[in-house]
Structure 1
Amino acid sequence: MAKRNLDSKATRTNVCLEQSAIRRQDPDGLGKDDEGGGPDRISDLPDAVLGEIISLLPTKEGARTRILASRWRNLWRSAPLNLDCYELTTTWGELAGVVSRILSSHQGPGRCFRIPCGFLPYEAATVDSWLQSPAIDNLQELRFSYPMLHNQSPLPLLPESFLRFSTTLRVATIEHCHLLDSIVQGLQFPQLRQLTLSIVRISECSVPHVIAGCPALECLMIRDCFGFRRLGINSISLRSVGVHAECYRDELNFGELIIENAPCLEKLLHLGCTGDLHVSVIFAPKLETMRCCSNPTTKTSFGSMVIQGLRIDGLTTVVRTIKFLSVDMDKFCLDTIINLMRCFPCLEKLYIQSYLSGPKNLWLSKHKNFINGHDIRLKKIMFKLYRGTRSQVSFVTFFVLNARVLESMILEIEHKNDNEEFLAEHRRKLQLENRASRGARFQFTTDKCVRNVWDINDARVLDLADPFACLC
């Protein structure tokens, strides 16, 4: 489940528990504060339900439910354990003892365990003992998180005790670790749905075993991994793939992703690279969501059609399945977007982020044939970051006046421009009164509306219906 959804559930749960505590103190609802009135129905729920509520809370908040009432005193020890070491406000020196005490006192089962990866190389035996604890039997989510700098070597080895969760693990995040061939070759995780590998060293011969050993895998994130050059995807279960490639000196760097056979793949997010990364799509008939970046050393190919950076080479093939596209541009360039719309003629949602204004973006006569001969199907457009330059005004106006089925457009603006004078001026400049789609809604916002590359850093984001939008 996405972190944002979990945070929302945890917030609602905290409110309910606070009200439960009030009602325990005033069970007849006779106090002066009407908001705390009524019986405490939460505490009347079965233990199993209350345990699920507790497991949705952050680690410290879950433990604090013991003070609500005698009814809650022992529930945390038997509730599914959600143990995030980063939520324990303690020093590194105290962390081992705190985590060990929690695990020794908890009766299980385990749901989620997040271990600081920087702790692993210095306390490998302690981490191994944690992973052997009965308190996390039947663990569903395991995260070795927050990697150290990649130039700190050697990478710590992934503990073999990780494999004891092979029959129950559904979500795994492995960061800044070395996956030995001896571990990967025997890897079998039949229930694993989401896998994130970040700054992981793994050999060329072991990479295929990762996919083959996870037959139910749906979301795969490969970030800045090395030790192999090529990854071929043959999976009937994968629905989402995200890749980012970092170039490491004196290492064999990840540089080629081939989608050979992925009949269920829906999302393919090219998150960028510092070297060269070539993505080839051979068979992905359900692919509808993509992210492209402007790095000229990156390539994405569909048969004979090649997108180099954001430049189109060989437009002999169009891909009609693509409906959602996120574009990371150096400059706002309308010509580039129009060429991408030629490649993907069925686009419905477009997310654009650029920090430079770019060319003049004159289009009235230049793209007359495209306007007359192309059916623009865009329904939703998000721009980050709109400053109102002449280039940006011309860019946005193209869609205002020509996207006939547009339903909404969101423009992220700077806080200094969040005033009636700026908004009124740009409603006029963008000719919103003359919009081609009379039902379209236009919104200026100072809130972040499009996720950048570093926000899409985990396989759980890939599982979102919309991995690009921060605003609904």
Structure 2
Amino acid sequence: MKRTPLKLNKKGQEYMGAELSRQTLSPLYSNELSPGIRTREGLLGNHGDRISMLPDDVLVLILSSLSLKEATATSILSSRWKNLWNLTPKLDLDLDWTAILNKRRNYDMNNMNNLSCEYVRWVDRLLTTLPKSSTTNLVRFRVLFELTSFFTVYIDDWVSYAVSRKVEHLELILDACLPREYYSFPYKKGNFPENLRWLKKLSLHCVNVSGETVEFLLRKCRLLEQLSLSQCGKGLSSLEIVRTSPVFKCLEISQCYSLNSVVVRESKVVCIKYAGVGEPRCRFKLVDVPLFSQLWIQAEAYTRLSYIINITDIINMFDDVLPQLHMLKIYTKSKISLYDNLHKMMPNLKELVVVVGSDYGDKYSLVPIIRWFSVAPCLQRFVLEAPHQEKIKEEKKVSRAPKVFSIDCLLNGSDLEVWDINRRNEVQRAYSHIKEVKFVGYRGVYNHIQMISLLAHQGSALEKIIVDTRSFELHENMPWDRISRNQNEDEIIARKRAKSELKHVTSGINVSIL
């Protein structure tokens, strides 16, 4: 297929040249180093250029641990470093277009289309500087931008380049708005390059791919360990995964609205991750999956709206294999209530992880989660993750002490959830097996301290509590991915609060504050 010249959408503008708009892309991809390492002396100190004396393999290994922006920036250090970044085995082509649009203060469609053209030009130019073949495999090739089927010829070329270098992790996160504009995955039955056999991880988001193509790829790519499908268009209506290779361990399905049936049979799969959507609800059938032991789900909390799939509905979709689970991870964006019940016993469940949404305010009780302990009599580890909730504001008066909640209020609060938990014998018994509790994203607000207080007071076997104040957020389109946030000031305040507040409720328990 012939490439279509890329025009800017603004009237009167000319075709874009090979050079990128430096003004547009400089926020993320300029060749500027941080102040401390802008020169060789800044990087190496006063002891000479010892790093440059290392073998190429070692230097490339160092560069592979950096982002693409950081790796390319090293090219200005000296002639020795100029082309080393070309040899890095990872290409993460992630351009934060939201930051650029924020800088331009303009979100109109023309601006976004122009930016897509510039991104395509940038990737094309970048790939022309890289070796067409290499003695080492391309470990990771990741495209993350809002691209539609209009750019099919270009994206096909990029994927072909990655496959020619025996790519191991291929990720196409394209963020197109409308399903009819989705890019279509190029490889299927009748078009399968030999080098694709090296693939170990495949992630497709806003990419058209059919169930038949997925099944074909699983048969051919015998090294594939993980498959991730997200918003994959109308072509993916059913999926049958049978007799996968022994190394295939993880299947991820997120917001595939047309998918109504998934069958996994005679497979060594260990983990399934499923982000539920509304009607029609997908039906899962798992047969002869002896190693299946981890289930991750994302769903809304209970609602009276029948078209919203909730936690209980999704858990029930896996009813036949729940007794096999060793680890269950639940993501929810909305307030958990007493109507969000787990009914099926999970006698082998050792770890329960719950991730609440970033809008889960400090007034929303976390206590209903404790009721889920009753279906897991052997539960040993409980993890609660709370993506950045409310920004902590440091007290203006240094002498003012942080608010301390009374133990009676925390353990016997007036809310219905606490009363219900305290009266249920089966829940009280479930506490007795938990040995470790971890709280990620702790901010010292009421629902955080109340949850830890209840667990510390009732957990007779509890040995350790880990409080992690480091902030993070979840990727909007790939819910299983965590993005670290740089909020050192908030984290320092949270650590101070944790030390002050938890000493009143965790006596005799080993508490680690990160």
Preserved CA contact (<8 Å) 2:144 2:172: yes
| Distance in 2, Cα, partners of 1:393 & 1:319 | 29
Change (3 A) 1:360 1:388: farther
Give the superposition deviation at 1:131. 2.4
Give the superposition deviation at 1:269. 0.9
Amino acid at match of 1:140: E
Does 1:349 find its partner at 2:377? no
Q: CA-to-partner distance for each residue in 1:392-447, whole Å, 9 max, x for gaps?
A: 7665433222213231153869969959997798558x544xx4xx133175xxxx
Give the superposition deviation at 1:166. 2.1
Report the counterpart of residue 170 of structure 2 in structure 1: 142
Change (3 A) 1:45 1:135: farther
**Which of the residues 53, 62, 82 maps onto 1:53?**
62
| Distance in 1, Cα, partners of 2:278 & 2:69 | 39
Q: Secondary structure at the match of 1:60?
A: helix
Give the superposition deviation at 1:63. 2.4
Does 1:91 find its partner at 2:105? no
| Distance in 2, Cα, partners of 1:388 & 1:58 | 35
Normalised to the residue count of structure 1, the TM-score between the two structures is 0.68
Give the superposition deviation at 1:225. 0.7
Change (3 A) 1:412 1:141: closer
Report the counterpart of residue 455 of structure 1 in structure 2: none
Change (3 A) 1:195 1:95: same
Report the counterpart of residue 407 of structure 2 in structure 1: none
**Which of the residues 62, 69, 74 maps onto 1:65?**
74
Give the superposition deviation at 1:195. 1.9
Give the superposition deviation at 1:59. 2.0
Report the counterpart of residue 332 of structure 1 in structure 2: 365
Preserved CA contact (<8 Å) 1:157 1:180: no
| Distance in 1, Cα, partners of 2:153 & 2:246 | 31
Preserved CA contact (<8 Å) 2:433 2:459: yes
Amino acid at match of 1:402: Q
Amino acid at match of 1:41: R
| Distance in 1, Cα, partners of 2:67 & 2:181 | 33
Which of 371-380 and 227-236 deviates more? 371-380
Q: CA-to-partner distance for each residue in 1:334-378, whole Å, 9 max, x for gaps?
A: 4x44542221122222234689x9526147973568647963323
Counterpart mapping for 1:166-315 below 5 A: 166-180=196-210, 183-187=213-217, 188-201=220-233, 207-209=239-241, 216-234=247-265, 236-247=267-278, 253-272=280-299, 274-275=308-309, 277=314, 278-283=316-321, 287-292=325-330, 310-313=340-343
Give the superposition deviation at 1:154. 4.6
Change (3 A) 1:62 1:369: closer
**Which of the residues 159, 162, 172 maps onto 1:131?**
159
Normalised to the residue count of structure 2, the TM-score between the two structures is 0.63
Amino acid at match of 1:439: I
Report the counterpart of residue 459 of structure 2 in structure 1: 403
Unaligned 5+ segments in structure 1 are: 1-13, 25-34, 299-307, 444-470
Amino acid at match of 1:332: S
Q: Secondary structure at the match of 2:204?
A: strand
Give the superposition deviation at 1:197. 0.7
Change (3 A) 1:138 1:420: closer
Preserved CA contact (<8 Å) 2:238 2:260: no
How many residue pairs match? The answer is 396
Q: Secondary structure at the match of 1:148?
A: coil
Preserved CA contact (<8 Å) 2:243 2:267: no
| Distance in 2, Cα, partners of 1:194 & 1:120 | 25
Amino acid at match of 2:376: F
Preserved CA contact (<8 Å) 1:128 1:159: yes
What value does the CA root-mean-square deviation take over the aligned residues?
4.5
Unaligned 5+ segments in structure 2 are: 1-32, 101-113, 301-307, 390-412, 472-489
Change (3 A) 1:282 1:373: closer
Change (3 A) 1:180 1:370: closer
Q: Secondary structure at the match of 1:345?
A: coil
Change (3 A) 1:42 1:394: closer
| Distance in 2, Cα, partners of 1:64 & 1:333 | 45
Preserved CA contact (<8 Å) 1:117 1:175: no
Q: Secondary structure at the match of 1:119?
A: coil
Preserved CA contact (<8 Å) 1:117 1:145: yes
Change (3 A) 1:198 1:99: same
Does 1:366 find its partner at 2:390? no
Change (3 A) 1:423 1:156: closer
Report the counterpart of residue 127 of structure 2 in structure 1: 103
Report the counterpart of residue 44 of structure 1 in structure 2: 53
Give the superposition deviation at 1:285. 7.1
| Distance in 2, Cα, partners of 1:373 & 1:126 | 56
Report the counterpart of residue 450 of structure 1 in structure 2: none
Give the superposition deviation at 1:83. 4.2
| Distance in 1, Cα, partners of 2:445 & 2:433 | 24
| Distance in 1, Cα, partners of 2:498 & 2:288 | 48
Q: Calculate percent identity across the aligned residue pairs.
A: 15
Report the counterpart of residue 375 of structure 1 in structure 2: 432
Preserved CA contact (<8 Å) 1:260 1:282: no
Q: Secondary structure at the match of 1:207?
A: strand
Does 1:159 find its partner at 2:186? yes
